[in-house]
Structure 1
């Protein structure tokens, strides 16, 4: 039965991706999440046709919609966690994306961005940092405890303001909706990741770490260092290696 379901799912995925418009939507979501309006503008697809494409992709288990934690009127479209493997099985994915450093950003720079930076240091030699739009006084103890539970090296720096540490060649990756929406038109990749501090439980922090681990690993497999022969940043981007001086 599991084999039959696997075949059915693969068939549904191939059918969904057989349309160039839907394939373009999926390609646009390989690096980060996006609001439907943003996707429509970026891809030049009418909003009604885009809604149809998203519905088909959602029915096939490739994407889902997430309601923004910061603005409940806003939603994001994101790839399902296992969709990336299903998509890349058909061939390598090579978005034209490069940076000198990755800078993970959340509102307080006390949990999600700090965890993401630590995870990045485990799977990439590209420099990394973290910052906040409204930095806290200290890193949240729940983030420290989660890293300890998972045996992850974690040397968080003092929370810092993104306006003071961002550089022109950084790839900014916002890992909370409030920060992503506050940065607005500033070039960045957005990941809609739930805030574990709101719940405050070990399970919430563990879930956040797990979600970020998958996303960080995928980005690390795609992102190229500046000067590697790629043509440029490839999007709304700005930079990234976990070293004491860079990790905020």
Structure 2
């Protein structure tokens, strides 16, 4: 077991636990805007001093808040969020990748759009392939890329086995490809096939979902 990673997970769990109380969540909300004294927190939330003290102790224990003495009135203190207060409150697992390989069945739409989108969000190289490649990129995918000023590669769809390497970080973007490959450890995004529907709306929906997921994944992949 990775002791360092376990410690990070435990720290995240402590922060989540600290925010499990609505009053502490409200205190953190206030502190995201600026530093406050305990009495100011109590006034803002209509909370007695002893309860404010309790909640601040919990937040400090979780490493989310710290206090400093006022330079004007040394009897007074101000509470602030620590630099890492909100770190890890969303899933934070990181992976390493030398290249990202996007896979769909035909390599004519979703995987092509995904690879092109990836290059706008990350410096890690990306490629795409299909388990049963089509003869050409779908016109709807080309039109969608044009609408979004996205440059697609000028090459025909490629068979996955001709481009895949053992070090690739594989992301399947269609259910058929994912279930055909059935290899544990690969990422899968279940995105409906816009080619089947054929409308601009279907392609734009696929594009938007790919961009949303890529935006979330890109910061969590480290070049190797």
Taking structure 1 as the reference length, what is the TM-score of the superposition?
Answer: 0.54
* In structure 1, C-alpha distance between the alignment counterparts of 2:94 and 2:87, rounded to whole Å: 19
Q: Which residue of 1 aligns with 2:28?
A: none
What number of residue pairs does the alignment pair up?
A: 143
**Alpha-carbon distance, 1:154 to partner:** 2.2
* In structure 2, C-alpha distance between the alignment counterparts of 1:89 and 1:115, rounded to whole Å: 31
SS in 1 for 2:102: strand
Gaps of 5+ in 2: 1-15, 21-85
Residue 202 of structure 1 pairs with residue 183 of structure 2: no
Q: Which runs of 4+ in 1 moved over 6 A?
A: none
Q: Which residue of 2 aligns with 1:188?
A: 186
Q: Which residue of 2 aligns with 1:104?
A: 102
Q: Which residue of 2 aligns with 1:127?
A: 125
Residue 178 of structure 1 pairs with residue 172 of structure 2: no
* In structure 2, C-alpha distance between the alignment counterparts of 1:121 and 1:215, rounded to whole Å: 14
* In structure 2, C-alpha distance between the alignment counterparts of 1:90 and 1:221, rounded to whole Å: 13
* In structure 2, C-alpha distance between the alignment counterparts of 1:106 and 1:140, rounded to whole Å: 13
The 5 A counterparts of 1:111-150 are 111-150=109-148
Gaps of 5+ in 1: 1-13, 19-87, 227-248
Greater length-normalized contact order (CA 8 Å, ≥ 6 residues apart): 1
* In structure 2, C-alpha distance between the alignment counterparts of 1:156 and 1:174, rounded to whole Å: 21
Taking structure 2 as the reference length, what is the TM-score of the superposition?
Answer: 0.60
* In structure 1, C-alpha distance between the alignment counterparts of 2:185 and 2:165, rounded to whole Å: 12
The 5 A counterparts of 1:209-224 are 209-224=207-222
